[in-house]
Amino acid sequence: MTYRSGFVSIIGCPNVGKSTLLNRLVGQKIAIVADKAQTTRNRITGVLTRDDYQIVFLDTPGMTTPKNRLGSYMQRVATQATRDVEAILFVVDPTARTHARDRELLQNFVGANSPPLRGGKAAKPTGGSCPPILILLNKSDAATPVQLANAEDLARQINPAWPIFAISALTGAGVPELEAALLPLMPLGPQYFPPDMVTDQPERQICAELIREKALQSLREEIPHGIGVGLDKMALRESDGGTVPLSPLMDVWATIYCERDSHKGILIGKGGSMLKKIGTEARRDIEWLLGVRINLQLWVKVKDDWRNKPSMLAELGYTIDN
């Protein structure tokens, strides 16, 4: 039996549903989701394994104009993810008010020699530097026919050869057809990851991201971009020293960083109510992820302008290359 494998990057503007799509493709939640732009800050690897092929998806931060060092890092991550892959999934939100940024990004791909179709499918480049591009019109369940048509026209005007799929990452509509279209683009190759592995993210990183997700979902609009989460320690307790063994319990200590004293007060909430809400919701997801009871302890610290400080960025896992 021949085996196919390859890498596919998922890119697009902020808040178009890239992480929801990644979770749908691999069949479980590995990327956090929130209705805030730029929720994803790092490249997230998701692995889809079938009997005769494996597709490794690279979810990326939304492509936008950087406003600080963290933003510059995120754009570098997104750009680098388009190299050395078998295909690019460019995700568009048809319900967005404007598609000016989509147009700008897609025109950049035209300049990178995007290949034409062969036999109704995206072709591998024959000398150009850009992999095949598939346009995904996400949120098709929420978009009107006019919105879908306008988004399709946008892509057609730039390159009529790009295959276009109307999908819903939320409901799964169109996703099986997308997977089938990707398979012919995967070359013969090895199984890069074990069949039961869906991501290469360390557990510590996933846990920190789950905490940040709950904060994003709970906080007001002006705060989310200014928070980061550092996981300080994880320790498994199996016994309390008595004669009766306990079910596994893991202590998890984490710090939520913000940039202003006023934000710290909002994060903590009246009588600690907001921090308790974030912790309760994050604990539930972390327990599901790790399969043990969790004792989650959260702290909030102010680090002024941390998004522009290389040492803090490195500490939180956002390593800036020189």
Write the burial class of residue 286 (CB in 10 Å: 0-12 exposed, 13-18 middle, 19+ buried): buried
The pLDDT value given to residue 269: 92
> Where in the chain are all domains bearing CATH 3.30.300.20?
203-315
Residue 304 neighbours by CB distance under 10 Å: 10
> Where in the chain are all domains bearing CATH 3.40.50.300?
4-185
The H or E element containing residue 121 is strand 121-122
* Sequential DSSP letters for 228-263: EEEEEEEEEE---SSSSPPPPEEEEEEEEEES-HHH
* 3-state SS assignment for residue 317: coil
Q: Give residue-wise pLDDT tens across range 97-123.
A: 889 999 988 888 776 544 443 444 444
The pLDDT value given to residue 240: 57
Query: Which fold is adopted by the domain 203-315?
Result: GMP Synthetase; Chain A, domain 3 (3.30.300)
Beta carbons of 131 and 122 less than 8 angstroms apart: no
CATH number, span 4-185:
3.40.50.300
Give me the tens of pLDDT residue by residue for the chain, a chain 322 residues long. 689 999 999 999 988 999 999 999 999 988 888 777 667 788 899 999 999 999 999 998 888 877 888 888 888 888 888 888 999 999 999 999 889 999 988 888 776 544 443 444 444 433 345 789 999 999 999 999 999 999 999 999 999 999 999 999 999 999 999 999 999 999 999 999 999 999 988 899 999 999 999 998 888 766 777 899 999 999 988 655 555 556 789 999 999 999 999 999 999 999 999 999 999 999 999 999 888 999 999 999 999 999 999 889 988 888 755 4
Round to whole Å and give the CA distance between 289 and 177.
29
The pLDDT value given to residue 167: 97
